[in-house]
Amino acid sequence: DMECGPPRINDKLMRFFDHCEKFLTEVEKNATALYHVEAFKTGPEMQNILKKVAATLQVPVSNLNADLIQVAFFTCSFDLAIKGVKSPWCDVFDIDDAKVLEYLNDLKQYWKRGYGYTINSRSSCTLFQDIFQHLDKAIEQKQRSQPISSPVILQFGHAETLLPLLSLMGYFKDKEPLTAYNYKEQLHRKFRSGHIVPYASNLIFVLYHCKNAKTPKEEFRVQMLLNEKVLPLAYSQETASLYEDLKDHYKDILQSCHASEECELPKVNNTSDEL
C-alpha cells in the first residue's frame, strides 16, 4: 500500500563513470589501459582455443581471432542463459575453453571496473555516500519517533555500477592482480564477474532497529545481500554489523572521498624557465 513517487533519472549518481574525467581519460579512452586483455588474447591459452575451433570448423586458423571466438562463446552462453536453448556454437567449446574465455572477460572487468586502477572504484564514492545518507536519515527519523519517509529506496544501474562499488568496499579482492600471465595461478580467484554480477544482479543494504539494544550504539545494525544472498562483511566476515562500526570502517570513503577531486585530471605544468 506504500505510495511511490515518480522515478527520477540521475545518471551522475548511477553512471558515475560517464562523468569522471580521470576514468574516461586514463581508462575508458586509454588504448593501453586494457593491455592485459589484449595480451591474453594472443597468449597460449587463447591460441590453443583458436586451433581447436579452427579444426572443428575446418577453417584456417588465420581466419579466426580472439574477438570472433568471444562472439561465438557469447552466442552460446546468451542463448543458454536467456532462452534455455543450447546453441550449435556450444558444441565447439569444452569446459576448459569456457574457463579460459571466462578469464578473458574477467580480465576486462578487473582492469576496467575493478581493482586494476584505483580510479575505477574511487569514482563510485558519491554513490556509496548517497547510500549512507539515506541510512542516516532513516536512523535520525527513528530516533525522533518520526515515520520513516523512505522505508525503501530502489536505485537501478548496471554491472558497471555495481563492480566499482563492490571494489570500493573491498569485496572479491585477490592477493595478486589478474594479469595475462597468471591464468593458472588465478583458477581459484575471488574476482569472477559472472558470479558477482550475473543477470539481474543486485546489492541490498538492510537496516535493522533492535528494540532490546543495551546501548544506543547497538540499536541499529546493517546487513548486506548480494544477489539475494547474505554478503559477509569484507573486513570481518560477520553477517551483520553495528551501523556505527560499519561507518567507522568506511570513514575514509565517507569523509575523504570527493568525486570532484578523485576525478580531476592531474594539471599539466606548461611553465618553462627561460635561460
Task: Please tell me the predicted confidence (pLDDT) of residue 2.
Answer: 65
Beta-carbon contacts of 81 under 8 Å, excluding residues fewer than 6 positions away, are 199
Reduced to 3 states (helix: H, G, I; strand: E, B; else coil), residue 193 is helix
Alpha helices in the chain (DSSP H): 11-14, 21-23, 35-41, 44-57, 66-78, 95-112, 118-122, 125-143, 159-168, 193-196, 243-249, 251-256, 259-262
Residue with cell 583458436: 50
Residue 129: exposure state from Cβ atoms within 10 A (0-12, 13-18, ≥19): middle
Give 227-244 pLDDT, tens digit per residue: 999 999 998 999 999 999
pLDDT along the chain (275 residues), means of 10: 80 96 97 97 97 96 96 94 93 96 98 98 97 97 94 94 98 98 98 96 97 93 98 94 97 94 83 48
Beta-carbon contacts of 25 under 8 Å, excluding residues fewer than 6 positions away, are 265
Task: Please tell me the predicted confidence (pLDDT) of residue 169.
Answer: 97
Give 18-27 pLDDT, tens digit per residue: 999 999 999 9
In angstroms, the CA 32 to CA 30 distance is 5
- CA–CA–CA angle 46, 51, 52 (5° rounding): 95
| Residue 222 near residue 208 (C-beta atoms within 8 A) | yes
In angstroms, the CA 93 to CA 44 distance is 16
- CA–CA–CA angle 49, 108, 184 (5° rounding): 50
Whole-structure pTM value: 0.92
Task: Please tell me the predicted confidence (pLDDT) of residue 275.
Answer: 43
The CA distances from residue 20 to 26, 28, 29, 104, 133, in Å, are 10, 10, 12, 26, 21
For the chain, domains (ranges, CATH) are 11-263 (3.40.50.1240)
Q: Distance between alpha carbon 208 and the CA centroid of its chain, in Å?
A: 26
Rg (CA), the chain: 23
